[in-house]
Amino acid sequence: MIGSLLYLTASRPDIMFSVCLCARFQATPRESHLVAIKRIFRYLRDTPTLGLWYPKDSSFSLHAYSDADYGGCKIDRKSTSGTCQFLGSMLVSWFSKKQNSVALSTTEAEYISLGSCCAQVLWMKQQLLDYGVEVETIPLKCDNTSAICLTKNPIQHSRTKHIEIRHHFIRDHVLKNDVVIEYVDTLNQLADIFTKPLDEERFWSLRRELGLASLS
């Protein structure tokens, strides 16, 4: 059941977080996990015509959103990273993943998520170049001002030395002007849907902003 849903997440980003959360318990599943999976199936049954809408007049400006849920996993207290990438108004890439290490602060969790998002957009930039589409500076939108300041600070202070070095490559690309980190308020943070469970109104709002619409 989880395998089928993971296959479906390639076209249904609205179930990405829920399915990935359930997938963490495949080794030791319980009845509560089966109940959660069946709830996802009921949601899909009620929204069979929902899909991504790609308007033909959309631009090819690449931009991305990055977010993290600090200590969201109640079992090991690891944070969850969520990112999504757009070409104009078209959602083309997204993921939700539990971070490999336990973050010691919200800033660290957001910074690690920014690093993953930066790696993804740089790969997409190269892919677009192969198709003859040249992209200049790519905006990465984050709702944590401390993480944004950390990407622009060339000095590694003692308070940030515990962050793994592999995430600091984002600073080099900020200096090279490959990407620019922009602040976005939490209400307009579209990657929020990939990091945590949301109330019904917020979920529907973000689902609409991602470009999901009834295709019937």
pLDDT tens sequence across 12-43: 999 999 999 999 998 888 999 999 999 999 99
Residue 153: inside a domain? yes
Assess whether 88 and 9 both reside in one domain.
Answer: no
209 or 176: whose pLDDT is higher? 209
Q: Is residue 183 helix, strand or coil?
A: strand
Q: What is the pLDDT of residue 22?
A: 93
Assess whether 43 and 66 both reside in one domain.
Answer: no
Domain range for 8 is 1-48
The CATH number of whichever domain residue 158 belongs to comes to 3.30.420.10
35, exposed or middle or buried, with CB in 10 Å at 0-12, 13-18, 19+? exposed
Contacts of 143 (CB under 8 A, 6+ apart): 67, 110, 183, 184, 185, 186, 189
Find the Cα–Cα–Cα–Cα dihedral 22, 24, 27, 32, rounded to 10°.
Answer: -30
pLDDT tens sequence across 119-162: 999 999 999 999 888 888 999 999 999 888 888 775 655 566 65
Query: What is the residue whose two structure tokens read 């007049």?
Result: 57
DSSP 17: H
Assess whether 72 and 172 both reside in one domain.
Answer: yes
Q: Number of folded domains in the chain?
A: 2
DSSP 163: S
Contacts of 33 (CB under 8 A, 6+ apart): 22, 25
- Which ranges of 16-144 would DSSP assign to H, the alpha helix? 16-23, 31-46, 106-130
Assess whether 42 and 130 both reside in one domain.
Answer: no
Q: What is the pTM of this model?
A: 0.90
Assess whether 30 and 67 both reside in one domain.
Answer: no
Assess whether 93 and 166 both reside in one domain.
Answer: yes
Q: What is the pLDDT of residue 8?
A: 94
Give whole-number Cα distances, 137 to 29, 62, 163, 187, in Å.
Answer: 44, 9, 26, 24
- Smallest CA-to-CA distance from 90 within 121, 120, 122, 56 is with 56
- 32's tokens: 């509560």
